[in-house]
């Protein structure tokens, strides 16, 4: 990832089942809520290990969260 400007709520999202993934050396700017989201709140309830988010790495990224302007449509 090199740059992710003007994203909606999250710059990068490692959701259910994301395993052994890496986000490194990127820039996330002007997000509405989260720079990077890893996993889901229900991971500990998953009955299948294939649905659990694990062994992911987020390192050496620049994240600036400026929610000063809304990028949504009027």
**Domain-wise residue ranges, the chain:** 4-64
Contact predicate 12/22, CB 8 Å: no
CA–CA gap between residue 71 and residue 1 (Å, rounded): 21
pLDDT tens by residue, the chain, 74 residues: 555 555 567 778 888 889 999 999 988 877 777 778 888 777 677 788 888 888 999 999 888 865 555 444 44
Count CB neighbours of 11 within 10 A.
28
Which pTM value belongs to this model?
0.65
């Amino acid at each position: 990832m090199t740059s992710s400007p003007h994203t909606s709520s999250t710059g990068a999202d490692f959701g259910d089942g994301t395993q052994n993934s890496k986000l490194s050396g990127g820039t996330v700017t002007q997000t509405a809520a989260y720079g990077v989201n890893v996993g889901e709140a229900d991971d500990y309830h998953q009955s299948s290990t294939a649905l659990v988010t694990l062994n992911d790495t987020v390192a050496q990224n620049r994240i600036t969260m400026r929610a000063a302007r809304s990028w949504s449509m009027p």
